[in-house]
Structure 1
Amino acid sequence: MLNTQELTQFLESQKALQLGKPVADTMAAKLLLFFQQIAPLLPKSQSISPVTQVNPTQLQDWLEHIKQPLIRAKQGGLGFNPWIIANIKRDEVRNSAVLAWLLNPNGNHGLGKLALCALVRGIPELGLSEALNTSSRCSVRTESNPDGDRSNRVDIEIDADHFYLLIEVKIDAAEGIDQLSRYGALCEQRAASRPWAILFLTTKRSMPKTAGNYAHKIHSVSWLQVAQWLSSALKQHTAQRTNPDKQEILTRESINCFLSYIRTF
């Protein structure tokens, strides 16, 4: 790990580099100096050894060679992601809203039950596949207060004829006091005789710390897993649609962009 003094010295050297002190005014020379200065600051497993093996002239030529293709690709929209432009970032409420839209069988994404089915199939221990298939009514709500208690505001509530499912979304925030234990009691009350479960959606499939007596009803999943399951659903939908119109293609690509985005969480 870099200490503060080493990092400060490195940053100061880069300022001098940018000001043209005392380095030859060529990109190759600047690249060589950069590698020489960064090598001692890297962990041993990541050190560039030996630095003299880096050919700064060839690297400069390569960077110049790809400059124009990269500009043309950018101008052509390569890498465009509307969700980044929409500035949803790692905001749990905003990302939950998009996820809930995808999971809603009545959403205007055109996927019907495919996304929710893919999620349920991805966690077979839920045992909800048959319940989903036989449910004619399925509502999906975000920022819901199922019992009217504002302290029990759940991220995603899925309430169907034959099952009840809550999704607690975490990206950067920690669990609240007895949060999942409270949600477990809420589910037990709201579900009545229906099967129910809670999905604990985190960046690294973390185990819940506040499950209490409901640990067996709480299933941990990661954003990456969810992205993979929903991608399969989207591929299935795409295969079924032989002549999509422009709006359908736009919707499909927007979903693809979101799934690519949440893979980075």
Structure 2
Amino acid sequence: MSLSETEFSNQLSNFFHAWKALPELEKVEQNEAPNYEIDIAQLKTFFQQYKVAQEGIDDVKTLGMYTNVWQVSGLRQDEVRNTKVLKWLLDCKGDHGQKNKILLDFLKLLPEKFHKHKPRTYFTIDESCPLGEQSNRVDIEIDAPEFLLFVEVKINASEGKEQLKRYSEIAEVKAKGKDKLVVYLTRDGKLPSAYQDDEIFFPLAWNSISNLLNQYADNQSYENRAAWLIKQFSKHIESF
């Protein structure tokens, strides 16, 4: 329905009266843009110093100091491949030449009763079948005169059905009175709730291994080439 001229005139008059009653808009002050003066002398000095620093970085790169053989070799987060490297580092017979030193540092991450053990020789096996059963493969087995360790390695996978329970039963049989432990190595360093109250299980995080290897490498001679590889593996696994 259309408005009459009188109604339209009244509405228009009311609109203008209401408009006049509105408060005036406040004027917004605009800040002046800052005026930065460029100090040509300082800028020149900066680029000269940067060039010197970059030359130093390039020299270090030329020496291969930024190389990480583990990252370029395609290890990525493959559990089997990373397990083999970890086993190699813990092996006193490994051609890295560090003998039992890395294992001794590893034992310090475990419960206190393992800190006293300092085996010179021991057996380190990956994908071990401790009692000969192919269905029960332990990622890393370390069998020393004083103790028995099983290390179950996880990166992205979860525990298999009653996997840790089976390993604990095997450890009980094979240890024959020695100190024994099933180490559960994972991203977050946590045990499944079903095993948290059993002292035969011990949770460990990849980050703890990374820190251990990093500190070990830092304490070695600059000429120790194995320390370079250890440092690089530490860097590789720190983000697991």
* TM-aligned CA deviation for residue 183 of structure 1: 0.3
Between Structure 1 and Structure 2, whose CA radius of gyration is higher? Answer: 2
Deviations 1:153-172 (A, max 9, x none): 01000001110001000000
* TM-aligned CA deviation for residue 110 of structure 1: 2.1
Equivalent position of 1:218 in the other structure: 201
- Is 1:232 equivalent to 2:215 in the alignment? yes
Question: Which secondary structure state, in structure 2, belongs to the residue aligned with residue 181 of structure 1?
Answer: helix
| Counterpart selection for 1:261 from 222, 231, 236 | 236
Equivalent position of 2:226 in the other structure: 251
Deviations 1:24-81 (A, max 9, x none): xxxxxxxxxxxxxxxxxxxxxxxxxxxxxxxxxxxxxxxxx99xx5995896446321
Percent of aligned pairs sharing the same letter: 30
Asked if the contact 1:96/1:142 (under 8 Å) is kept, the reply is: yes
- Counterpart mapping for 1:179-198 below 5 A: 179-198=163-182
Structure 2 residue runs of 5 or longer lacking an equivalent are: 1-46
Asked if the contact 2:181/2:201 (under 8 Å) is kept, the reply is: yes
Equivalent position of 2:69 in the other structure: 82
Question: Which secondary structure state, in structure 1, belongs to the residue aligned with residue 198 of structure 2?
Answer: helix
| Counterpart selection for 2:90 from 86, 103, 121 | 103
Structure richer in helix, relative to its length: 1
Structure 1 pair 222/263, CA: closer, same or farther in 2 (3 Å)? same
- Is 1:162 equivalent to 2:150 in the alignment? no
Asked if the contact 1:205/1:222 (under 8 Å) is kept, the reply is: yes
Using structure 1 for the length normalisation, give the TM-score. Answer: 0.64
| Counterpart selection for 1:176 from 135, 146, 160 | 160
Asked if the contact 2:100/2:121 (under 8 Å) is kept, the reply is: no
Structure 1 pair 169/111, CA: closer, same or farther in 2 (3 Å)? same
CA RMSD of aligned residues (A): 2.7
Partners of 1:172 and 1:183 lie apart in 2 by 20
Partners of 2:229 and 2:161 lie apart in 1 by 36
Asked if the contact 1:200/1:208 (under 8 Å) is kept, the reply is: no
Structure 1 residue runs of 5 or longer lacking an equivalent are: 1-64
Using structure 2 for the length normalisation, give the TM-score. Answer: 0.70
* TM-aligned CA deviation for residue 206 of structure 1: 2.2
Asked if the contact 1:175/1:210 (under 8 Å) is kept, the reply is: no
Partners of 1:75 and 1:137 lie apart in 2 by 38
